[in-house]
Amino acid sequence: MGNVTKDEALYQEMCRVVGKVVLEMRDLGQEPKHIVIAGVLRTSLANQRVKRSELTTQAMETVVKALAG
């Protein structure tokens, strides 16, 4: 049962991360295409100065894999 909670937390964090990127892209006047979202997340992950929780990092990596194939 612990995995269900962990999986749900990961899914919720993935949704939060993607939603944030999509809204920021919209504010900048960009069309949020899946490959562009993956690129934004890859670039963000490359920045090691930003402190992220393990869950957020895992969510970002999972989204990149899902969107970029």
Determine contact, residues 29/58, Cβ cutoff 8 Å.
no
CA distance 13 to 59: 6
For the chain, which ranges sit under pLDDT 70?
A: 1-2
**Count of domains for the chain:** 1
Residue 15 domain boundaries: 4-65
Instruction: Write out the two tokens for 17.
Output: 């991360």
Residues 26-37 pLDDT 10s: 999 998 899 999
